Amino acid sequence: MALLQQMKLLINLARIDGEVGPREKHYIKNIGLANQFPALEIEDLFDQRHELIVPDNLNNDQKFDYIFSLVQLMKIDERMYKEEIMFCSKIASRLGYSEEVMFDLMLHVKAASMRKDELATLKELTEKYLNQ
């Protein structure tokens, strides 16, 4: 269920600038496929409207995955819109992060794949923004 909600949030973010670009669509599909989400169901999600639902019962790893994937998607088309940043800040807040987490994420998240050590360092850096 958490994966489905994450994918819906990603689709909502991708739509902010008016359309879901090919790179954004590919990124979202890859997240679903990597987590054994059926390809046809992923495709159907792009044709639907989605509420902004952030599950309450996420652990810190899942919260990081949510916010990281949103910021990476925002950076993937190499254009960041004010509305996208505001959307990510809103979701970060719902996940329990202070909104300042966005500064570190925007500085350190890369649009390309990141190594495990880079992700671990970023996760550690962002944990200080979690409201425990």
Encode pLDDT of 90-127 as tens digits: 999 999 999 889 999 999 999 888 899 999 999 999 99
Residue with tokens 């997240």: 31
Residue 5: strand pairing partners = none
Asked whether residue 91 is domain-assigned, the answer is yes
The count of structural domains within the chain is 1
Q: Is the pLDDT of residue 82 over 90?
A: no
What is the pTM for the complete model shown?
A: 0.84
Asked whether residue 10 is domain-assigned, the answer is yes
Asked whether residue 24 is domain-assigned, the answer is yes
Q: Is the pLDDT of residue 78 over 80?
A: no
Asked whether residue 58 is domain-assigned, the answer is yes
Nearest residue to 92 (alpha-carbon basis) of 74, 113, 112, 77: 74
Q: Is the pLDDT of residue 132 over 70?
A: no
Asked whether residue 70 is domain-assigned, the answer is yes
The mean predicted confidence, pLDDT, of the chain is: 89
Domain that holds residue 28: 2-127
**pLDDT one-digit tens code per residue, 34-60:** 999 888 898 999 988 888 888 888 999
Asked whether residue 132 is domain-assigned, the answer is no
Which one has a higher pLDDT value, 47 or 132?
47
